[in-house]
Amino acid sequence: MNFLKIKIILFTIFFVACSESNNSRDNGVVVTRHYLASDVGAKILEEGGNAFDSSIAVAFALAVVNPSAGNLGGGGFVVYFKNNKIFTIDYREKAPIKSFKDMYLNSEGNVIKGLSLESYLASGTPGTVAGLIQLHKDEASMSLEKLIAPAIVLANEGFKLSEFQAQNLNKYAKKFKKNKEAEKIFVKEGGWQKDDLLIQKDLAKSLSLIATNGSKAFYDGDITKKILNDFKENEGIFIKEDFLSYEIRKLEPLCGAYKSYQICSMPPPSSGGIAIIQMLNILENFDIKNLTHNSLEYIYLLKNIMSFAYADRSVFLGDPDYFNIPVNELISKDYAKKIAKKIKIKETSQVQPGMLFKESDETTHFSIIDKWGNSVSNTYTLNSAYGSGIVAKGTGILMNNEMDDFSQKPGYPNLYGLVGSEANKIEPKKSPLSSMSPVIVTKDNIPYLITGSPGGSTIINSVFQEIINILDFEMSLEESSNKNRIHYQWQPDIIFYEDLRPDILKELEYDFTLRKRKLGEIQSILKTSEGYKGYSDLRRPDGKSIEIHQ
Ligand code: DON
């Protein structure tokens, strides 16, 4: 053997040893919007569970400790990384079989206010239980009983409300009072206070049934019967078949290259993946690093990029099983180039005020990575805070109002001011178009950034700015969280902002309608030179990131 060969062999041994030890040195991280759910997820990792075990336990725990968004009666999307590959589960709600295009219109063809938000007609068939059980079946290493047990304890014995939660429950008392079951659980005489115990006995029973009987308990069992009975008694349109025929979809993740990174998220029925990849593709045509972050030019550029993505969203996106979506065209680099050519950094646009949407940050995202590098990015929701505000009698389960995400009438804005068309009209068993954007960014096929946010239509832009802050401006997660965000969605023609320098605001005011509001609530994990770090957005007081070193 000559000297060169020995050198090559030694180098190879050294390289393999290094990469193996790197793998085993990786730490776990759990980031959620509620410290109790983060504790549950971290404990599972400490006991040797993987990121999928941890995610299932967290999702069930959030259904108890974060009832405004964590749920059994809603739906969502999970994007995950395992063995160098990205997978997704679409467990979005589906329109009831008896639903139809004009179901929210009166005889004059006008939308009946509130029907798609706070009534027994507001809910789609929930997908959360099916989604979590599928994840369990495919990827978990621990039993379902073990993973649901912490949620059952939290529901049965109760947990102490944080200041934020006590106030939040009080804020929605009027909504709960419209439904006896919800009132019983979520309204307290004289109002809730910090450290009051929220006990949810019926929810504990439902969770126990799921722990024992799995998906059957929710889709063909005791819980199903109770939901169907309650809906029947109150002029809902759910039938048994809605639950029996509910199916999750394992969709190919939508991935795009951005500089040296791979950005992966959900394909339709979420608009998040397409919009974020489309916006990054457009952005690639500009020298963003030479612009000052949140300067006037920077905001003009972002605003213009956002307007193209949201305009396309309103026309082309919906449930892929019902509408032919030009996905490849929308995320092609050529299309992005064409759009980029149209963008002049400073342009004015005609203001056409639309509906001002309500502020609601009641969806929830969590990010989890384990020591093997398995990563989970999950966003799920009831839609607006506490969904329809209806608890199906005897189940403790709050039902979603996701039907509002459909386009009820062409051009009619939903809760988030989003307009839609044919692509997103109501059809039986179809999923409404979503903005939820769970993202995993990889570099050299290793998870680099795991992120996502609530915020309805603003989710896409919050996640987009998190990606730019970190990949282009090389900010830490904390720095990025501290940066003010903007949001523009083409219609209504309003720039939403958290805060901006007074001179910039003054300039923008010449051309645009502006409105101040909080934007997003990011829960991210980032690979750093010191291992994986998590950060729970400072916009939500109860969030917690836990790092586990084993
Ligand atoms: O799927 C969607 O896009 C919405 N239903 C998400 C709702 C949401 O983020 C509520 N929080 N603001």
Give percent of the chain with pLDDT exceeding 90: 87
For 45-60, what is the mean pLDDT? 98
Report DSSP state, residue 473: S
**Residue 474 in this model has a pLDDT that exceeds 80:** yes
- Bridge-based pairing of strands 397-398 and 391-392 is antiparallel
| 272 CA closest ligand 1 atom index | 3
Mapped onto helix, strand or coil, the DSSP state of residue 98 is coil
**What's the mean pLDDT in 492-502?**
94
CA-based R_g, the chain, Å: 23
pLDDT band at 356 (very low <50, low <70, confident <90, very high): very low
Mean pLDDT of 204-210: 98
Which residues have C-beta atoms less than 6 Å from ligand 1?
A: 360-363, 381, 383-384, 402, 405, 434-436, 454-456, 459
Per the structure block, which two tokens stand in for 411?
């051009």
Q: What distance in Å separates the CA atoms of residue 38 and residue 469, rounded to the nearest whole number?
A: 25
pLDDT of residue 360: 62
Which of 436, 437, 485 to probe ligand 1 with, by most ligand atoms within 8 A of CB? 436
Which residues are paired to 458 by β-bridges? none
Task: Using the predicted structure, report yes or no on whether residue 435 has a pLDDT greater than 60.
Answer: yes
Residue nearest to atom 6 of ligand 1 (CA): 456
- Cα(99) to centroid(ligand 1), Å: 21
Rounded-to-integer distance, Cα 435 and Cα 16, Å: 41
CA-proximal residue: ligand 1, atom 8 (nearest): 456
Does pLDDT of 480 surpass 60?
A: yes
Tell me the C-alpha distance between 164 and 157, whole Å: 20
Q: Which atom of ligand 1 is nearest to 435's Cα? A: 3
Q: Answer whether residue 7 shows pLDDT above 60.
A: no
Strands of 476-522, DSSP E: 486-487, 494-497, 513-516
Provide the pLDDT for residue 361: 67
Query: Which pLDDT band holds residue 20 (cuts at 50, 70, 90)?
Result: very low
Mutate to test the pocket of ligand 1, among 416, 437, 461, 518 (most ligand atoms within 8 A of CB): 416
Predicted TM-score (pTM) of the model is 0.94
Residues annotated as catalytic (active site), given as ranges = 363
Q: What is the residue-wise DSSP string for 338-353?
A: HHHHH--SS-------
CA of 198 to the centre of ligand 1 (A): 25
Mean pLDDT rounded to a whole number for the chain: 93
Q: How far is ligand 1, taken at its centre, from the CA of residue 454, in Å?
A: 6
What band does 412 get if pLDDT is binned at 50, 70 and 90?
Answer: confident
How sure is the predictor about 550, in pLDDT bands with cuts at 50, 70 and 90?
confident
> Which residue has better confidence, 252 or 511?
252
Give the atom of ligand 1 at the shortest distance from the alpha carbon of 453: 9
For ligand 1, atom 4, which residue shows the shortest CA distance? 456
Question: Where do the domains of the chain lie?
Answer: 257-360+435-543
What CATH number does the domain located at 257-360+435-543 have?
1.10.246.130
Instruction: Output b/e per residue, 79-101; b: 16+ Cβ within 10 A.
Output: bbbbeeebbbbbbbbbbbeebee
Secondary structure (3-state) at 497: strand
| Predicted pLDDT at 5 | 55
Q: Which helix (H) or strand (E) holds 41?
A: helix 35-46
- Gap from CA of 70 to ligand 1 centroid (Å): 12
pLDDT tens digit string along 285-308?
999 999 999 999 999 999 999 999
